[in-house]
Structure 1
Amino acid sequence: MVHAEYTVGSVANIIGAKAIMMNDGPLTTLLTDSRRISNAPEALFFALSNRRDGHQFITDVYKAGVRTFVVSKRPNEVLTDANYLIVPDVLQALQALAAHHRRQFDLRVVGITGSNGKTIVKEWLYQLLMPDQNIVRSPKSYNSQIGVPLSVWNIKPVNDVALFEAGISAIGEMRRLEAVIQPEIGVLTHLGAAHDEGFTDREQKLNEKMLLFKDSKLLVGQYEELLSYKDRNTSTKFFCWSRRYDQADLYVIGEDTKKKDLYLRAIYHQQEIECHIPFTDQASVENAITCWSTLLALGYQPEVISERMERLTPVSMRLELKNGVNDCSIIDDSYNSDIQSLEIALNFLKQQNQHPIKTLILSDIYQSGLDEDELYRRVAAMLTDVGLNKFIGVGEALKRHSDLVLIDNKYFYNDTSELLSDIQRLNFRDETILLKGARSFEFERISRALVQKAHETVMEINLNALVNNLNFYRSKLAPGVKVMAMVKAFSYGSGTFEIANLLQYHKVDYLAVAYIDEGVALRTAGITLPIMVLNPEPNAFDKLVNYNLEPEVYSFHLFDELSQYLQDNDIINYPVHLKIDTGMHRLGFEAGEIAELCKLLVQNASFKVRSVFSHLVSSDSSVHDDFTLTQILKFEQAFKQIQEAIGYEFIKHINNTSGITRWGVAHYDMVRLGIGLYGVDAAVTDPAALQPIASLKTSISQIKNIKAGETVGYNRNGSLAKDGRIATVRIGYADGYLRAFGNGVGSMLVKGKLVRTVGNIAMDMCMLDVTGVDAKEGDEVIVFNDQQGIEELAKQIGTIPYEILTNISQRVKRVYFYE
């Protein structure tokens, strides 16, 4: 959203497009996602072809009110009053437009890159500079080839400083981002292992990242990483920090921990200065030193910097979806408030269908760069697009503009305390509530009041990782091949509507559940996708029909029972999925039964065959490839025989998760994606391809000093060989941490170190040997995450990852993150 004046014609000239123009109206908003439409009359949609071809969604975007499209091919049919800007490369056009926009402004632009810490450094620099600068910055972690131009487009004439982060994963990407950002000041954060796979070595990755700073006048970073560049780049001023080399501009000589704070001491201009930060973990300390260095390089006085850094607050760039009181769902995004991140949060709210009421609690928005009246007019328009049922505004500015909010059920308060004093009257019940507030409004107090109190053991689900995994498997499919997502067994322990809502938003074609009640739960939570039921129970056929669920039919007995029910209720052409047994020998019609099945299908008007499918026994193992091929051939014989008999087409599918990558020949019309969605697939050897979506965390209740030989736990099975310490943690077999993990079989992460269990696992707790670990009561303990994956836990007790995930108890609180 910008103040600079752009029209369809001027944009066509800027990006060098061949234009098919029906009008030359103003353009203020850039769109790249057909599901996220805002300010449609003045929007420009870029039909990108990254994961999916954006051209196929133009009709949907047009129906939402957008009239101007950047495309790479001339449309077969020109929609009424639509403008088409035809370019060779849509992504390059987006970047070219943003680069042009950047050149219109004379402001101090800071470009930030590195492997880790980019977003934290950007947000902390924002906190530190905000008292005396008007700042525009990348929303969330918008640092990709698409995210960077969308961020730069937000520059406005009132901005003094811009903070943009840039992330890359391959050679050639940074040159394009540099042309868009054109930073005057560069900041290099920690260079770690992230995206190493895209480069031949760490030096090549560093060289590529440094291209962002090729024309920068000032560069800030760690001395050890910038040393070689200082020697060969005399036109750039360098400001370096180090813990090891006293030649650095900022030489850190001391770090003193006091409770949860850290006092840093350093030599700067031959004098000792100090800085107090409210963090002690090493990643935060390094990011804080980078910010300290940046402000010194910009000319801020050490005393001013120290005062501001003492007030730094944690940065969470992820939405958290939690269970709330009175059957509510709480979307907690209360760490920052700007119009760009509000749009992202509202889009996530729009995805939620589990409750009949959608509620927004919003604070005043600061430093938007817009006139106050214009700002809240735009906010009001965004609220209308989402379809809110209830709005609660907190702050004097929102109260002044209350008439702009066209929602009947609306409330306004001067501050958070006033809202909390009235919270009982608001009567939150069966609602999805989005909390979106500037940090100064302390919306965490509202979160504490509304979030359901639960067991301290928490399973965190990263929804972005799930989308990454979905897109990985989609990239293996030919255009038109459908995806059925398996969400049975509480989505492999990961959730119900939380997962299904996201899959529905990302346009999977089918969902599959084990039992009818699981399908009913999804329907009542607002899921409208087709749902296949793998084990339909005859005593629940009424629910099957009432909730529009599609049954698997795997035997003549079930065929007859379902057929009779449908005939008794005068139902014809009901969608069914026929299961063929090609070698699993679990459920399904065998080869010798297909002829009889065909005969019954021809005679029976109750059924409409929606799909015919089978299940591969060992698609991940090359040892059984001959058997897999036999299964595929048997399946083809079966579905061809059925199709010839009934005379119409249906969906064919046999591939499960591992088969998607190993057996492309058998993708047919649809694939069934199961545990791969959740980051586990033995057939995928590239460690960067899939992301684990779940982390299971608990905490230490108590620590005891134990003498050698003293016993620990039930039946006196545990002991230490030497004097040491044990930590009792809040997880046991009732939470899904099985008894098999006891007596040193299992391990957990404490302070980044793997420690073994001691003694038997109890119902609600277990003990760990933390001898030699600087652990304290209340410290976080990680059962599994990306460092110790569920595959490792499965190996520890001789089982499979499915069992680990599905055993996590429902009393373990699930928290969902989404960037």
Structure 2
Amino acid sequence: MNALHLYLQNLDHNYRYIRKHLQPSTQCIGVVKAAAYGSHSIAFAKRLVELGIDSLAVAYTEEGVQLRESGILTPIMVFYPQKDTLQSLLHADLEPCLYSKELMETFESLLNQNGIQNYPIHIKYNTGLHRVGFALEEINWVLDKIVAPCFQLKTVYSHLAASEEKRPSSQCDLQIQRFQHIREQHSHSNKNLPKFHLLNSSGVFNYPELQFDAVRCGIALHGFANRPEWDQQLKPIAELETHISQIHEVHEGESVGYDQGWKASKNSRIACLPLGHADGIGRHYGNQRSSVQIHGNQAPVVGNVCMDMLMVDVTEIQCKEGDRVLLFGKDYTASDFASQGGTISYEILTAIGPRIKR
């Protein structure tokens, strides 16, 4: 009925394009959090491993455990480990990104209790995004802590808040300046230098001179880099399709959907599609704010999107029940569709629900 097709050959293209533009010594961290941005985390991660990815990254411990249980042995970073999942993280040989004093001390105690030394960790600093991360004022505290025998510091990193913003960006420039200071402090204090990384997908395109030792790529592997000129170099991997369940003849003045969301200004043909906000197509796509493609024609979404159904106007389109409908794909991309609903490719991709077959 509904399907999200994933074209892994496009992932191959995106990975190779990115790798081609990295310095030979720069590692690529493949970000596969949130079910690999709504696709299929295991299939996606295994393909990256085949392609030669240096390491993987997830948001939470449970995601990393799932990859380990599938047989993936590649190093896996956990961006936002929670205290109550540290034991599971340790058992699965996952690498925590430590971002607060409390978290770091809790993990240190856990390692010492288990008699573990030289366990790989990553340190995250908050340089201006103000999400998670150690404050600049805590650098010395971190430097004192990381010499503990239980830790092996692998990388130090931060995250730009507006990496796609046209240069010069005052926000990014300030964060870059702060990160350079962090890098200098760590470089002067560590005998075994960790690797440093700052750039996400957009940053790889916008700040090629700041690759440092590694970059983190997530959405770019799916074909998007947040600027049209960059997106043109990549290939979307996801295509969301459905089919027409039923077509109604709606007379002038009659309404469609909950709360009489749309009224026909003329006699119309309305097609019902078997997916709705329970599948990730939110109400913000309704009431003619977005459209889908049927036989290459745009069919506007009319009325309010329902939980399991949405309706489109096919008055001017030759179609029948059972015909294929494309929500997004290669030419009319997830980014194009998302923009109609006032959002971004990340949100529509990660919102696609489990009822839709991959």
Shorter chain as denominator, the TM-score bin is over 0.9
**Cα gap change, 1:686/1:666 in structure 2, threshold over 3 Å: closer, same or farther?**
closer
Deviations 1:483-503 (A, max 9, x none): 001100011101111100100
Q: Gaps (5+ residues) in structure 2?
A: none
Matches within 5 A, 1:312-391: none
Distance 1:626-1:714 versus aligned 2 partners, 3 A rule: closer
Give the letter aligned to residue 175 of structure 2: Q
Query: Contact conserved, 2:224 with 2:231, CA < 8 A, in 1?
Result: no
Looking at structure 2, the residues matched to 618 and 475 of structure 1 have their Cα atoms a distance apart, in angstroms, of: 24
Spell out, residue by residue over 1:508-528, the C-alpha distance to the aligned partner (whole angstroms, 9 max, x if none). Answer: 001100110100000011111
Deviation of 1:623 (Å): 5.3
Alignment-derived partner of residue 173 in structure 2: 629
1:752: how far off? 0.9
Aligned to 2:80: 535
**Counterpart amino acid of residue 723 in structure 1:** N
Aligned to 1:786: 330
SS where residue 485 of structure 1 aligns? strand
Residue 554 of structure 1 contacts residue 588 of structure 1 at CA under 8 Å; is this kept in 2?
A: yes
Matched, 1:482 2:27: yes
1:636 to partner: Cα distance: 2.0
Distance 1:623 1:667, change over 3 A: closer
Equivalent residue, structure 2, for 1:591? 136
Tell me which amino acid in the other structure corresponds to 2:274.
Answer: R
Question: Deviation string for 1:37-56 (max 9, x for gaps)?
Answer: xxxxxxxxxxxxxxxxxxxx
Could you report, residue by residue, the CA deviation over 1:638-666 in whole angstroms, capped at 9, with x for unpaired residues? Answer: 12212322311211100111111111121
User: What amino acid is aligned across from residue 800 of structure 1 in structure 2?
Assistant: I
Residue type of the alignment partner of 2:32:
V
- Deviation, structure 1 residue 624: 5.4
1:307 alignment partner in structure 2? none
Give aligned pairs, total: 358
* SS in structure 2 of the partner of residue 622 of structure 1: coil
Task: Write out aligned runs for 1:402-801 (5 A).
Answer: 456-602=1-147, 604-622=148-166, 625-683=169-227, 685=229, 688-801=232-345
Q: Which amino acid aligns with 1:644?
A: H
Q: How much has 1:742 moved relative to structure 2?
A: 1.2
8 Å Cα contact 1:697/1:781 also seen in 2: yes
Cα distance between partner residues in 2 of 1:627 and 1:786: 33
> 1:550 and 1:699 mapped to 2: Cα distance?
43
Question: Could you give the per-residue CA deviations for residues 71-127 of structure 1, whole angstroms, max 9, x where no partner exists?
Answer: xxxxxxxxxxxxxxxxxxxxxxxxxxxxxxxxxxxxxxxxxxxxxxxxxxxxxxxxx
How far apart, in 2, do the equivalents of 1:620 and 1:799 lie?
A: 16
Per mean C-alpha deviation after superposition, the further-off stretch among 787-796 and 665-674 is 787-796
Residue 625 of structure 1 deviates from its aligned partner by 2.2
Q: Which residue in 2 is equivalent to 1:817?
A: none
**CA displacement, residues 648-685 of structure 1 (integer Å, 9 cap, x when unaligned):** 12111001111111111210110000101111112461
Give the deviation of 1:778 after TM superposition: 0.3
Q: 1:662 touches 1:683 (CA, 8 Å); kept in 2? A: no
* Alpha-carbon distance between aligned partners in 2 of 1:559 and 1:684, rounded to the nearest angstrom: 40
Per-residue deviation, 1:582: 1.2
Measure, in 1, the Cα distance between the counterparts of 2:44 and 2:210: 27
Superposed displacement of residue 711, structure 1:
1.1
Amino acid across the alignment from 1:537:
Q
What is the SS of the residue equivalent to 2:6? strand
* CA shift in 2, pair 1:526/1:621, >3 Å: same
Moved more, 539-548 or 611-620: 539-548
> Once the two structures are superposed, what CA deviation does each residue of 1:145-167 show, in whole Å capped at 9, x if it has no partner?
xxxxxxxxxxxxxxxxxxxxxxx
Show the 5 A alignment for 1:52-91: none
Instruction: Tell me the distance in 2 between the aligned counterparts of 1:718 and 1:631.
Output: 47
User: What amino acid sits opposite 2:95 in the alignment?
Assistant: E
Q: Secondary structure at the match of 1:813?
A: coil
CA separation in 2, counterparts of 1:462 and 1:496? 14
In the TM superposition, residue 633 of structure 1 has moved relative to its aligned partner by 2.4
Match of 1:749, SS?
strand
Once residues 142 and 45 of structure 2 are traced to their aligned partners in structure 1, the CA distance between those partners, rounded to angstroms, is 33
CA offset at residue 783 of structure 1?
0.8
Q: Distance in 1 between matches of 2:232 and 2:79?
A: 32
| 2:180 counterpart SS class | helix
Contact 1:661 1:683 in 2 (8 A): no
Say which structure, 1 or 2, has more relative contact order (CA 8 Å, 6+ apart): 2
- What is the CA–CA distance in structure 2 between the aligned matches of 1:761 and 1:682, rounded to whole Å? 27
- State the shift of 1:793 in Å: 2.0
Q: Contact 2:240 / 2:327 at 8 angstroms: preserved in 1?
A: yes
Aligned partners of 2:336 and 2:262: how far apart in 1? 23
Tell me the amino acid that sits aligned with residue 583 of structure 1.
G
Kindly provide the amino acid, as one letter, of the partner of residue 43 in structure 2.
E
Report the Cα distance in structure 2 between the residues aligned to 1:763 and 1:719, rounded to whole angstroms.
20
Q: Which residue of 2 aligns with 1:22?
A: none
The separation in 1 between residues aligned to 2:94 and 2:357, in whole angstroms, is 29
The one-letter code sitting in structure 2 at the alignment partner of 1:526 is G
Inter-partner Cα distance in structure 2 for 1:780 and 1:677: 27
Distance 1:631 1:812, change over 3 A: same
Residues 104-123 of structure 1: matches in 2 within 5 Å?
none
Q: Which amino acid aligns with 1:475?
A: K
Identity of aligned residues (%): 38
Work out whether residues 601 and 646 of structure 1, in 8 Å CA contact, stay in contact via their aligned partners in 2: no
For 1:770, the aligned partner's letter is: V
Distance (Å, rounded) in 1 between the aligned partners of 2:226 and 2:346: 12
Distance 1:687 1:545, change over 3 A: closer
CA root-mean-square deviation: 1.3
- Taking structure 1 as reference, are residues 624 and 561 closer, same or farther at Cα in structure 2, changes over 3 Å only? farther
Distance 2:32 2:144 in 1: 33
**Whole-angstrom distance in 2 between the partners of 1:593 and 1:801:** 35
Consecutive unaligned residues of structure 1, counting only runs of 5 or more, are 1-455, 815-819
Letter paired with 1:467: D
> In 2, Cα distance between the equivalents of 1:641 and 1:473?
30
Instruction: Give the Å deviation of 1:546.
Output: 1.4
Distance 2:184 2:167 in 1: 28
* Contact 1:661/1:684, CA 8 A, preserved across alignment: no
In 2, the alpha carbon distance for the partners of 1:727 and 1:586 equals 43
Distance in 1 of aligned mates of 2:86 and 2:206: 37
- Take 1:591 and 1:741, find their aligned partners in 2: how far apart are those partners? 41
Larger Rg: 1
Letter in 2 for 1:541: L
Offset of residue 697 of structure 1? 0.3
Q: Is the 2:223–2:231 contact (alpha carbons within 8 Å) kept by the matching residues of 1?
A: no
* TM superposition shift of 1:686: 5.2
